[in-house]
Structure 1
Amino acid sequence: MRVPLRLTLLYSVLFLLSGAVLLAITFLLVTQSGSGVSMSSSNSSRSGDQSISNIVVGDGASEDAPLTETERRLIAAARQQAVQQREEFGNQLLAKSGVALAIMSAISAALGWLVAGRVLRPLRVMTDGIQLISARNVHERLAFSGPPDELKALADTVDGLLGRLEMALDSHKRFVANAAHELRTPLTLEHALLEEAIIDPDATVDSYRARFEDLVVVSEQQAQLLEALLMLATSERGLDRLERVDLSEFVGGVLRAAEPRACKQNLTVVERVRPAWVTGDSALVERLVANLVDNAMSYNVPDGWMEVVTGAAGEGCFLSVTNAGPHVPPETVDRLLNPFQRLERTADDGHHGLGLSIVQSIAVAHSADLSVRARPEGGLSIRVCFPAEKSQAISG
């Protein structure tokens, strides 16, 4: 059943019920008024009979004189006639009110249909506009003009949804293009190495071995890129499982694994960790910690430093990673959170610009707040705050 018809039936039923209630109240008031008059007449029957008697026999009759049989019959006939008139009046009132109610019900149904159509007209306009919007013209908006009511709020909400959808589609297109470019680079390099080995007439076992070593490096880079893309897709999909984990334990494990690299880069690692229990996916939380530490070590300066802090803040818990490094323009900080974005793009650094974007996706999946700030001295200060409902500190 269509909405206009449902609204028309609703209006008609409501009018019919309200009219029937009004008719019942009116009928009861009229009948109760007549009953009250009858009760008053019964209580004063003696005085009423005497009055009727005076009318019948004249004013000269004595007030104490008993009524004759004829007078009693006349009085009874008058009473019966009054009762019949009252009943006829009530029946006529009920019948005429019913006819009026039926007529007004038909009129209200017609008016309800017109009103429902006018009320739903903006919805039909919005529906037609939405049906015309597709992936090719997602930039178009309803641009509904009208008073600030619920329909205007609905149209504005749809426009906001279309705006977010346009941003998501644009981001998806950029992601696909960047991913294709990142994957094409090692594939092109692989093809060049293989082709060089094939067309070299003076190739030796040592030259083949050197080419194979280069191919292994390229293959490892491809594997790292695919793993990063898979992790990004997993984090954007949401949480599959929830468990209580301690951020400080992940930090300790990641830093122990990174000790050889820190010694090789001569980095000073400052570790100030306290128990910070959060509820989430342990694999994703560990990846978040590992990506932040890897980013702080990769984009650092010779003989630099890195500080990792965990603990409780208010009712939630936090993880903070700060590092020395090259100067980062503040206006480029937000861009670094997008996939395949790096300050200096090089093909052989082993990074694809996915680390911070994965961190952001994992933070969003855990309803955590991610703040990235460029330090005036160089480097970044990154802080992830898990909300109270997703985390709680444990004492003892």
Structure 2
Amino acid sequence: MKFAYQNSTKIFFGQGQIEAIATAIPADSRVLVVYGGGSIKKNGVYDQVVTSLAQHQWQEFSGVEPNPTKETLDKAVEIVKSDRIDFILAVGGGSVIDGCKYIAAASHYAGDGWDILVGKHTVTSATPLGAILTLPATGSESNSGAVITKAETQDKLPFLSPFVQPMFAVMDPDVMKSLPERQLVNGLVDAWVHVCEQYLTFNHGHMVQDGYAEVLLRNLKQLADQYPQRDSDEWRANLMWTANQALNGLIGSGVPHDWATHMIGHELTALWHVDHARSLAIIQPSLLRNQLDNKRAKLEKLGTEVFRLPQTGDLAERTIDAMEALYNNLGVSTKLTEYQGEKTAAVDKVIEQLQKHGMVALGETQAITIEQSKAILQDAIA
């Protein structure tokens, strides 16, 4: 076990914490407030932001999509450059926050911001940013990662940089009260898979990371079981904090990671606009069954520690069944139906994109070859 871990994001957690941005953002900053489709103007968040920024010079940029696109974000990059913006405030879920990370990095680069995603440019500085989280799911509010889509070419790629780590994150569970059911469910599923990507690998003996991952998975299972009783301050607060802890870097420190479910799932989103979380639920059960021998020990541990299943010879298989049931009970499908045309053509299209993006050996041991990915997709696509 050898790693360096630091999380520099200051968290303001709890009801009424949006007012904290008044002092968290330097008073002399020129602020760009970035948000999505305008729901924050209906649920009171926008008004709280306006009040809290009363002493600041600020302007706004709206229209960031779910699965934010380079094409939209580049418009904000130009505003940051031309208006000498020196602080970005993301108000939204993971898509808005991810988008702001791209804006922050690309605004310090003279070339095409997409160079960051394809590895042609290494980020060495960025415009400082903070976040007001409105949808718990991705953990983007306190990590250094982002995923951006290039609509023109149907590419969806990630990047990591410590320079885009948010300086602060406001997490007020009250903002979840107006979220559509689909987004709440997506948040639960997304957080679940985030933990699994760092946990479901092989036994490595790192007790803290494994033990904490199991606690987070038990939390999420309980929240899923309690979904009919979701209209409570306690339920909302626990989902928001658990989703944050799922991907703030701690449980992934010094342990192997998988992320194959994400890499394949990203292609479903880019090609057919499948919700990110739902693309993960489609791919994960098929991937785990494909990699059963490699992941059996950890699946058995998940089965006993989280689902409380009895020890049997088929424990790993029943654990995957239990995960699939968790998704189905939330109304989330584990088979892709959104594609158009023939199934064979759909599989081939995803494989073509994976090859284009260099995703030819995935998983914690690189055991998921293109041939394995094809088998996973043949099982995952209805």
TM-score normalized by the length of structure 2: 0.19
Greater relative CO (CA pairs within 8 A, separation 6+): 2
Between structure 1 and structure 2, the one with the greater Rg is 1
